[in-house]
Amino acid sequence: TGTYSLESPGLGNQTFFLDGNPDLAVPAGLLVTKAEGTNVHSLDGNFLFPSYTVPGALVRFTMTQRVSNFHTNSLNGNYAFQIVGGANMGYGSGFINFDGVEGAGTFTGRLLGNAPEDEHERLLFETALTGTYEVEHHGFTTMQITFVDFPDFPVFPSTALIVHANGAQGLSLRGNFEVPSPVLAALGVPSLVRTQLDYLGPSEMTEVAKTQ
């Protein structure tokens, strides 16, 4: 729970009450980043004091107006897929094709990656992706991602949130793996791996459309 206020230039303040307790108030600053007339579609914000868990760290967040009637079929078609682990440590880009079937959906895809091999060299890699996913009505998405060409890797559980949508069709998701990168952990850098997915189009798009 909490309170908020906005001024006409689009600046504002918000207070979060943790567990609904006014004695656990977390103040934050707000900035409107997208609006239609006086209807606000998205905001950026940051907490006005450092993180409890990372001393001195700034905590930023975004808020986006969207519906809350999502389901597994809200993810269907081709999505660009990016992963980033740590500060310039590991990076991957590729695509995921969601089948959009209700219940536990499945997906396939491909990923090209660039990660440190040791302290002096970087490793370029490529792998097929498979997995399952589910979407609950608020847009929280769980994924189980398998790096097919790396059989020694675990299945990576990932959580994400639909942050941009057209009706019930999810257009953009932001999230993270729930386990550290095994490549970075081996180097003593157990970094959080962040994920981003952006809708490209339906699965049946033509080869010409894929390159335009």
Confidence band, pLDDT 50/70/90 cuts, at residue 212:
very low
pLDDT at 102: 66
Q: Note whether 79 and 96 are within 8 A (CB).
A: yes
Q: Note whether 172 and 163 are within 8 A (CB).
A: yes
**Would you say residue 151 has pLDDT above 70?**
yes
**Would you say residue 189 has pLDDT above 70?**
no
Q: CA-to-CA distance for 89 and 176, rounded, in angstroms? A: 15
pLDDT in tens, 52-73: 777 777 788 888 777 778 999 8
Sheet containing 11-17, strands listed edge to edge, beginning at the edge strand earlier in sequence:
2-6, 11-17, 25-36, 39-47, 60-64
**Would you say residue 206 has pLDDT above 60?**
no
pLDDT in tens, 78-104: 999 988 876 556 677 888 888 877 667
More confident position, 98 or 184: 98
Confidence band, pLDDT 50/70/90 cuts, at residue 16:
confident
Confidence band, pLDDT 50/70/90 cuts, at residue 211:
very low
